[in-house]
Structure 1
Amino acid sequence: MTGWRLVLAAALLAAPAVALADPCEGALPAPGARFDGPVRYVGDGDSLCVGKSSDPSTWIEVRVSDFYAPELNSPGGRAAKTLLEDVVWRQYLQCRAIKHSYDRVVARCTIDGASVGDLLRARGGVEGGNGRGGRR
């Protein structure tokens, strides 16, 4: 394979990974800390970003603590993401950080006092992700 073809092949293979990267770049709050703001991005059925400004460098990446959605590329994963978008998009969340996990914070988040997990279950959300195993 010639040099330019190898570079092109590498670029094409890397493109999907870049497209799937979330834009949330804010500092993660310490466990126990409270934070709030509107939802700016939904990554999958149980991950989102909260940020008070339109600047992604201030957005906090959150893994919802009380709901375990199917993985995005698993059966039901796309529907779970759509449901989370329907429930939280541009809503103002109040969250409490529980712990860090990878590059995000696991947090319990509420909208007007109702937990995001409870709101998803009330709308028929099906759990089955890799977290604690699915509840039905």
Structure 2
Amino acid sequence: MRPNRRATVRSALIAVAFVAFPSAAHADPCTAPLPARGTVFSGVVRYVGDGDSLCIGPKGKPDRWVEVRLADFNAPELNEPGGRRAKALLREVVMGQALVCKAGRHSYDRIVAACTLGGRGIGVELRRRGGTEGGRKSARTVQS
């Protein structure tokens, strides 16, 4: 049986597109050095990666954006049920807003931090707005 030429060409073009044009949705724009444990830092939210991670920093300077994993909220992963909703809720709550954060431990290439918006914990605000936690182990909170 001879393969359908049109289907073969289509498959080849799709493969080339994935290699030539990687998805920006999976690119991590936060590249600033991470603050030391206990450091208080602040900035405007420039990027939301998923339901419990974001970047803060000055506009137009991703080399100064700090990648943060929220210490007080444990959202489902994007590929889990509720993951996309959690990302949308975090984005709605914090995008473009100024946060004040206290650095905790490093986790992979980000800092786990307790962040507040107007003096209120982000996790508290997400739960108040109907955000549900799930997926991974419970988030560790950063001690004051």
With the length of structure 2 as denominator, give the TM-score of the two structures: 0.81
Shift of 1:131: 3.2
**2:73 aligned partner:** 67
Structure 2 CA distance for aligned equivalents of residues 132 and 90 of structure 1:
27
Of residues 4, 17, 27, the one that matches 1:21 is 27
1:49-60 to structure 2, matched below 5 A, reads: 49-60=55-66
Paired residue type of 1:46: D
- Identity across matched positions, percent: 56
> Which structure would you say has the larger Rg?
2
Structure 1 position 103 matched with structure 2 position 109: yes
Q: Secondary structure at the match of 2:72?
A: coil
How many residues end up aligned between the 2 structures? 128
Paired residue type of 2:102: R
Q: Secondary structure at the match of 1:63?
A: strand
CA deviations 1:45-80 (Å, max 9, x no partner) are 000001034210000000000000000111100000
Query: What 5-or-longer segments of structure 2 have no aligned partner?
Result: 1-10, 140-144
Of residues 120, 126, 129, the one that matches 1:114 is 120
**1:88 aligned partner:** 94
Structure 1 CA distance for aligned equivalents of residues 37 and 49 of structure 2:
22
Shift of 1:127: 0.3
Closer, same or farther: CA 107–12 of 1 in aligned 2, 3 Å:
same
Structure 1 CA distance for aligned equivalents of residues 19 and 60 of structure 2:
30
Shift of 1:16: 5.1
| Residues 38, 90 of structure 1: 8 Å contact kept | yes
Give me the CA root mean square deviation.
Answer: 2.1
Q: Secondary structure at the match of 2:63?
A: helix
Q: Secondary structure at the match of 1:94?
A: strand
